[in-house]
Amino acid sequence: MKLAPRLHRLGNDIVASYLIDLPEGITLIDAGLPGHWRDLQRELELIGRPLSDIRGLVLTHGDGDHIGFAERLRTEAGVPVYIHTADAHRVRTGEKPKTAMGPAKIGPTLGFFAYGLRKNALRTPHVSVVTEVADGDVLDLPGAPVVIGLPGHSPGSIAVHVPVVDAVFVGDALTTRHVLTGRTGAQPAPFTDEPERALASLDTLAGVSASWVLPGHGAPWHGSPADIAAAVRASA
């Protein structure tokens, strides 16, 4: 789905990833679920670009609903996968701490897990080879993505700022649709390792200049990072 010139979303409000379409090539942010491979193929066909135009995939963190087709893309198309050093072990092994599920309603929760099943979430492969990045890195990829450390949801959670599309991609640093309650609007994401640390990290996000804030779950936010960061804190 096209959000703006050169900016596309794969998936939907339940699970989303993003495609940046530039003349010099394509950068992907997150890889959703394994079944989103077909969504990627359809979007590439719509914009008239081959798989070989993808130059890199940047993961906002190492959880299964963000790494879905990453290993397939790496092995079949030779696309490098980037992730923060602190989440490198997580993405290679799937090992992560158990976190409290928090508030939930049966309908939205069942809907989230049913969608995951339809998109082959139970068959998500780990990513065996990654390129590790750090806070402040500017990646040599189309759009020159900037890595912004936002630890809390996971140790290596990041935002990815791409000025050329006026967007910052935040993964699960926040959400605009709680997948377990169905509540919409800016709020903390569930399944967060360190909730207080995640909220504190939003101070960094508030200093980013962008018109789009794009989460891994929920509707795109067309507004400033400072405003959404304040809204998340107010809802916590």
Distance of alpha carbon 4 from alpha carbon 98, whole angstroms: 37
Radius of gyration of the chain (CA): 16
Distance of alpha carbon 43 from alpha carbon 216, whole angstroms: 18
pTM of the model: 0.97
Please check whether residue 153 is in contact with residue 90, taking contact to mean a CB–CB distance below 8 angstroms: no
- Assigned token pair, 168: 């910052």
pLDDT band for 21, please (50, 70, 90 cuts).
very high
* CA atoms lying within 13 Å on the CB side of residue 39: 23
Report the candidate in 72, 57, 50, 52 with the shortest Cα–Cα distance to residue 20: 57
pLDDT digits (tens, 9 = 90+) for 125-168: 999 999 999 999 999 999 999 999 999 999 999 999 999 999 99
Q: What is the mean pLDDT of the chain?
A: 97
- Average pLDDT (28-51) is 98
Report the candidate in 7, 6, 61 with the shortest Cα–Cα distance to residue 220: 7
Distance of alpha carbon 171 from alpha carbon 215, whole angstroms: 5
Q: How many CB atoms lie under 10 A from the CB of residue 222?
A: 12
pLDDT digits (tens, 9 = 90+) for 74-122: 999 999 999 999 999 999 999 999 887 789 999 999 999 999 999 999 9
Please check whether residue 211 is in contact with residue 227, taking contact to mean a CB–CB distance below 8 angstroms: no
